[in-house]
Amino acid sequence: MQKTINPDESKMLSAELELLMKERQNLLIIAGAAAGLIAELNTSDLPIRTVEAADLLATTINKLSEETLQDALNSVHASIDN
């Protein structure tokens, strides 16, 4: 049994999708900026609590798929050299 979507539901879904895409773009910018910051840190110059926070951030960023991380870096026009 297949149900068709009425015009109001379609508008609502379209608006929700647009909202989610904007949110994704904002999150990509945040992740890209965070990845760039982590890549530039010299942990020997930082207090241990700051290093621990940076490690938590780096661990979280590393959970992103390679494609998503690349999208994040591209969103802030950054690259990370290995």
Which residue ranges in the chain fall short of pLDDT 70? 1-2, 80-82
Is 73 in contact with 32 (CB distance < 8 Å)? yes
- Within 10 A of 7 (CB to CB), how many other CB atoms are there? 7
One-letter identity of residue 23: E
Question: What is each CA distance from 18 to 2, 12, 73, in whole angstroms?
Answer: 25, 10, 22
Residue 2: per-residue pLDDT: 67
Q: Where are the domains of the chain?
A: 33-82
